[in-house]
A and B are shown apart, each in its own frame.
Chain A
Amino acid sequence: MNKISVIIKREYITRVRKKSFIILTILAPLLMAALIILPTAVMMNQEGELKKIAVIEDNSDLFKNVITNTKDAKFEYLENVRIEDLKISFEKAGYYGILYISPEVVNTPNAVQLISKQQPPIGLLQHIENCMKKEIEKQKLLAYHIDNLDDIMKNVETNVSIQTIKIDDSGAVKETSTGIAMALAYIFGLLMYMLVFIFGSQVMRGVIEEKTSRVVEVIVSSVKPIQLMMGKIIGIALVGLTQFMIWVILTISIVGFVKTTIIEKAGVAEIAQAIPQDLMKADQQSVIASQNQAGEISPELAEFSKMFENAMNQPWGLIIFSFIFYFITGYLLYASVFAAIGSAVDNETETQQFMLPVTIPIILALMVAIGTMQNPESSLAFWCSMIPLTSPIVMMARIPFGVPYWQIAVSMALMLVTFIGFVWMAAKVYRTGILMYGKKTSWKEMWKWLRYRG
């Protein structure tokens, strides 16, 4: 249809040219990139400072050289120093703080004090606690006088890392990661929510604008109301997709740029050190582990490549197909409802009473989608991924965890039928609503419009 494309073009161009669109499109990825980069930068800065800590023990030397130095903390064991004296002078002597250990420590856990002028970082406290706990455990075990204790201890020390493996119907085995599935579920669920909600309400505002400025009557004398409605809905969908594409490209390139220029200059080695020991140990996959031993790949790169491999094991074809399907049908469903609401009111404040029943399923869907990440097999998640009003968001959150094909097929079929029904009804309400002025519309009134003849 030639005329519908004229409408789509106008809807698209007037929005894309708006200053607010351009500003938001450029600023959002900068903000997003800042959100990703800033914490890293802050973390790196903090780590640069070395804290010297004095260790004093009361009438004992049980913990001498027990607390190991870390990258950013150095422990000096002082003997023959009185805590009262040091309390006054530790800052002048260049100490960050004093770790005071009383002899009761073996029996009472509160017998250790870290005295400092500033609030010490949580990482430092954990390090001290870990070291002392191990030492105390060791001392206690020693008290049992077990032979070959050291060997036993070495033997006992284990690491557990659960490897999740998904078997599909054909019996093929794939290594997966629940973390990745959760991240994907979250991203796709949220993305669907944003697209449907933000651009759906843009459709509504557009319809209200046309109605209040009375442009609509001129236009519907040239094109059919449904052409105007669909032209607007499609035009705005294209605006949304454009913005989304620009965001993805900009965010990736900004993060990529900053990563290569700033972080890599700071040195990969430092980052590798920053990764806690147990995380490195958790990485047990044989191939990568051997590469690790060979020292070819830094641990974080290994972690990343494993994540990447896991991510690639996701059913991407299905995810992308479903996303496109649910986006198109879900967006069209909600956007046409929003258009119908916009057509029924005289101004934006009047939309409240109609918005609530429409907003509830969307927000409910998002909440269920987040819950889905904890338990993708729950019956709530199942039903919400079948009911067409919530299924676009909930099903997208379920798919990364694996959903039987018949469920997807049923959900899509229901969605398709409902979406066609909603667009048809919305078009009928819209057709009458856009030409009605001054009358406060109710649901009952809209129901009547549904039955008017064209």
Chain B
Amino acid sequence: MVLFEAKNVTKQYGDQLALDNVSISVPEQCIYGLLGPNGAGKTTLIRIINQITGPDSGELFLNGKKLTPADVQQIGYLPEERGLYKKMKVGEQALYFAQLKGLTKAEAMRRLKYWFKKLDMVDWWGKKVEELSKGMQQKVQFITTVLHEPKLLIFDEPFTGFDPLNTNIVKNEIRFLRERGATIILSTHNMESVEELCDNITLIDKARTILEGSVNEIRSKWAANEYDLVFEGDVQIVGNNHYQILNQQKDNNKSIIRLKTTNNIPSNEIIQTAIKSGNIISFNPALPSMNEIFIRVVEARN
């Protein structure tokens, strides 16, 4: 079932087109990656979903119904540019944001206690925000985003500023939120986390959707006919009429070779040819990383 849908959204700022006929469809309880180079229009789309600005044309649906201003209660948004009032105390601030999202003070208090305990932040309650480190502030902001238990969560670069330990904690919390029924739109440049977390993605470049689908499908589609061949020691091979060499590199007394078949020969035949060159450690179909796909797709357009 689709939880959120944007249909043919177009937005123009002056003479600059920020979004050109973009559509996304986010299934329920899915982690949906929103990717794209800087200035592609992701933030504009997120702002439109949050109803911070309105689209020039196009429609938005939440749970099959047209998005209304009252729906902000159902959405939680962690902006890329995080902000808290620096002079305000952590607890008061969290309460304030919760109340703006429509929670009563008592209810907000109850939930905040749970989250502060869970993320080991109880001692920070009475501190001013400016006394906290950047990572700590981000945790506070994370809590304020999820506190009102929205159906749709939008995280814009949620991992920047976190150390690996905290990155992991946040990743786990995101998975946990999904299990509890939330649907998540994740906008990030961190492609590793996209592979790790996202079910589906949309890649936007220059205001247009240029790639969309499930992460696994996209990766296997792009992996077509590519293999990683690893030899022991220093080995070099040359391409032939069955395959061409995309990349050769040495690493720790190993040689890693990426090759692409030019016709559909069985992999056994590749191995038979290669085996003459040296001692094979492994032979794998190469799933390109999202990083590679991202670079190739975007570069291809330029």
Contact = CB atoms under 8 A, between A and B. Distances in A.
B97 A218 contact: yes
B83 A214 contact: yes
Contacts of A224: 69
A296 B43 CA distance: 81
B266 to A, nearest CB: 54
B83 A6 contact: no
A6 B87 CA distance: 18
A217 interface: yes
Interface string A378-411: 0000000000000000000000000000000000
Interface in A186-209: 209
B81 A222 contact: no
Contacts of B85: 14, 209-210, 213, 215
A3 interface: yes
A180 interface: no
B54 interface: yes
Contacts of A435: 47, 52-53
A267 interface: no
A114 B60 CA distance: 94
B86 A213 contact: yes
A6 B96 contact: yes
A218 B88 CA distance: 15
B82 interface: yes
Nearest to B52: A220
A14 B88 contact: yes
B144 to A, nearest CB: 7
Interface string A423-452: 000000001000101000000000010001
Nearest to B141: A218
Contacts of B101: 222
Nearest to B87: A14
Contacts of A215: 83-85
Given A7-B100, A453-B56, A454-B54, A221 B81 contact: no
Interface residues of B, number: 30
A216 B77 CA distance: 12
Contacts of B191: none
A219 interface: yes
Contact of A221 (B14, B75, B84, B87): B75
B50 interface: yes
A138 interface: no
B144 A452 contact: no
A223 interface: yes
Given A6-B96, A213-B83, A214-B83, A221 B50 contact: yes
A452 B13 contact: yes
A10 interface: yes
A223 B81 contact: no
B119 to A, nearest CB: 18
Given A14-B88, A221-B72, A222-B72, A214 B79 contact: yes
A214 B81 contact: yes
A222 B100 CA distance: 6
A218 B97 CA distance: 8
A214 B129 CA distance: 14
B99 interface: yes
Contacts of B69: 224
Nearest to B72: A222
A41 B96 CA distance: 51
Given A6-B99, A213-B86, A221 B52 contact: yes
Contacts of A452: 13
A224 B50 CA distance: 11
Nearest to A231: B100
Contacts of A453: 54, 56
Interface in A209-264: 209-210, 213-225
Nearest to A220: B52
B72 A217 contact: no
Nearest to A217: B79
A215 B137 CA distance: 12
B185 to A, nearest CB: 13
Contact of B82 (A214, A220, A454): A214
Contacts of B102: 2-3
Contacts of B47: 435
B52 A217 contact: yes
Nearest to B89: A14
Interface string B36-62: 000000000001001111101000000
A269 to B, nearest CB: 56
Contacts of A221: 50-52, 72, 75, 77, 79
Nearest to B82: A214
Interface string B140-153: 01001000000000
Contact of B100 (A210, A219, A437, A454): A219
Interface string B62-100: 000000010010010101011111111000000011011
28 contacts: A3-B99, A6-B96, A6-B100, A10-B96, A14-B85, A213-B83, A213-B84, A213-B86, A214-B82, A215-B84, A215-B85, A217-B52, A217-B77, A217-B79, A217-B83, A218-B83, A221-B50, A221-B52, A221-B75, A221-B77, A222-B72, A223-B72, A224-B69, A225-B52, A435-B47, A435-B53, A453-B54, A454-B53
The 10 closest A-B pairs by CB, nearest first: A214-B83, A215-B83, A214-B81, A222-B100, A221-B77, A221-B50, A217-B79, A213-B83, A6-B99, A454-B54
Interface of A: 2-3, 6-7, 10, 14, 209-210, 213-225, 431, 435, 437, 448, 452-454
Given A14-B88, A221-B50, A222-B97, 7 more contacts: A214-B79, A215-B85, A217-B77, A223-B100, A225-B52, A435-B47, A452-B13
